[in-house]
Amino acid sequence: MSVAGFIAIAFMLTMYVLLDGFDLGVAAVAPLVARSDRERAATMAAIGPFWNGNEVWLIAGAAALFALFPAAYASSFSGFYLPFIVVLWLLMFRGIALELREHFPSEIWHQFWDAAFSASSALLIFVFGIALGNLLRGVPLDASGYFRGTFAFLLNPYALLVGLFALATLGVHGAAFAAMRIEGEPAARAIRVVAGGSWLVLILYLAVTALTVSMSAPLRASWLFVMPVLSLTALAAMWRSARLGRARDAFLKSSGFIVTLLAASAGTIFPYLLPAYPARNAGISIFAAAPSETALACALSVTLIGVAGIAVYTPLVWRRMAGKIRVE
């Protein structure tokens, strides 16, 4: 049952990365995609209906982690104290920047808020990437299972590289979404960003993968060797779709690429939720962090029923929303 809990958490966080990933990504690549004030407004409008709902996945994922593995939740959230608070501030600030933009009458203000929005979103992706990097690398847990993440420790070269990789990957993901939702010139630029950005993603992917594999010498699960093949296939397919100008396909393949990355990450740390550093075959495992069987069963049923419900009604609602955004 603990394993199912691990999968549930991994699933919810993957959904968060896929969904909030595209609106963060759109914001991060907006300076490359949209040139004029109206084009930037259209870019914002493309994610306007979605960003708030997408962030709900983060809240739900954190809550599910709390319910399923309280020890891991407590230790990681208090250990990454300042980085997490910075994430909170960025999340809030970016929502404020997005909502404020249209309410200022001058283009100078628009430019300011657009820049603030893009910068805070890009920084947010970068910080999330650093967090993932540290999760893969492990954290210095003490005997009682707590740790104190200092900046010097958290900002190590490996984690920074993962941060950059996250930025490139979600930037491309966002560009594919923008190409799908917007019409006209910005869409054409966005699809070119996808095609060109794929190369950057490829280089960073190879570097990160090589480092990750060398770090975690004895790979715990042999199926993980399949993941690079799948990732590279998805990446190549995305590049091809972008070259052919098929935004929708590119977006789906980008989603596939992200899923393989996160599945590989989850497989790397399994069965730990928070591996220890430097001895990475220790840490807070799903068996140690789990609450009672009753609680696990309860949280799992909640997650399953809830996610099934969401899978039914979200597409139902999204189908009834307005279509492509036109630059006015």
Partner 1 sequence: MDPVLADRLQFAFTVMFHYLFPIGTMGLAPFVAAYTWKAAHRRDEESARIAAFWTKIFAINFAAGVVSGIPMEFQFGTNWAAFSRTTGSVVGQPLAMEGIFAFFLESVFLGALLYRRRGVPSVFVAWAGVMVCAGAWLSGFFIVATNAWMQHPVGYRIAADGTILLESIWLVLFSPFAYWQFAHVLCGALLAGGFIVAGVGAYYLLSRRDESIGRRLVRAGTIVAFAFALIAVFPTGDRQGRDVTRYQPVKLAAEEGLFTTEREAPLAIIGMPDVARMRLIDPIYVPDFLSFLSYGNYKANVNGLDAYARDLWPPVEVTYYAYHIMVGLGTVFAATATIAVVLLAFGRLWSARWLLWILMLIIPFPFIANEAGWVASEVGRQPWIVYGVMKTAAGGSPTVSSGETIFTLIGFAGMYFLLGVLFLYLVLREIGKGPSGSEAG
Which residues are at the interface with partner 1 (CB under 8 A)? 48-50, 52-53, 55-56, 58-64, 66-71, 73-79, 81-82, 84-85, 88-89, 91-93, 95-96, 99-100, 103, 144, 146-148, 291-292, 294-295, 298-299, 302-303, 305-307, 309-310, 313-314, 317, 320-323
| Closest distance to partner 1 from the beta carbon of 126 (Å) | 19
Q: Which is nearer to partner 1, 100 or 237 (CB)?
A: 100
Q: Which is nearer to partner 1, 101 or 280 (CB)?
A: 101
Question: In angstroms, rounded to a whole number, what is the distance separating the alpha carbons of residues 63 and 12?
Answer: 10
| Closest distance to partner 1 from the beta carbon of 265 (Å) | 20
| Closest distance to partner 1 from the beta carbon of 310 (Å) | 5
Using DSSP's 3-state secondary structure scheme, residue 24 falls into helix
* CA dihedral for 315, 321, 322, 325, sign (positive or negative): negative
The contacts of residue 53 (CB under 8 Å, 6+ apart) are 19
Using DSSP's 3-state secondary structure scheme, residue 273 falls into strand
Q: Which is nearer to partner 1, 281 or 301 (CB)?
A: 301
The β-bridge relationship of strands 272-275 and 283-285 is antiparallel
Q: Which is nearer to partner 1, 152 or 322 (CB)?
A: 322
Is residue 116 within 8 Å of 93, Cβ to Cβ?
yes
Question: In angstroms, rounded to a whole number, what is the distance separating the alpha carbons of residues 10 and 286?
Answer: 12
| Closest distance to partner 1 from the beta carbon of 62 (Å) | 5
| Closest distance to partner 1 from the beta carbon of 290 (Å) | 9
Q: Which is nearer to partner 1, 60 or 276 (CB)?
A: 60
Q: Which uninterrupted H or E stretch holds 64?
A: helix 51-68
Q: Which is nearer to partner 1, 127 or 201 (CB)?
A: 127
Q: Which is nearer to partner 1, 81 or 223 (CB)?
A: 81
Q: Which is nearer to partner 1, 116 or 236 (CB)?
A: 116
Q: How far is CA 288 from CA 140, 279, 283, in A?
A: 17, 17, 9
| Closest distance to partner 1 from the beta carbon of 292 (Å) | 4
Is residue 94 within 8 Å of 120, Cβ to Cβ?
yes
Other residues' Cβ atoms within 10 Å of the Cβ of residue 322: 7
Question: In angstroms, rounded to a whole number, what is the distance separating the alpha carbons of residues 318 and 322?
Answer: 8
Q: Which is nearer to partner 1, 36 or 150 (CB)?
A: 150
| Closest distance to partner 1 from the beta carbon of 317 (Å) | 4
| Closest distance to partner 1 from the beta carbon of 86 (Å) | 9
Using DSSP's 3-state secondary structure scheme, residue 241 falls into helix
Other residues' Cβ atoms within 10 Å of the Cβ of residue 71: 17
Length of the chain, please? Answer: 328
Joined together, the tokens standing for residue 53 give 């709902």
Please state the separation of Cα 145 from the chain's center in Å.
26
| Closest distance to partner 1 from the beta carbon of 263 (Å) | 22
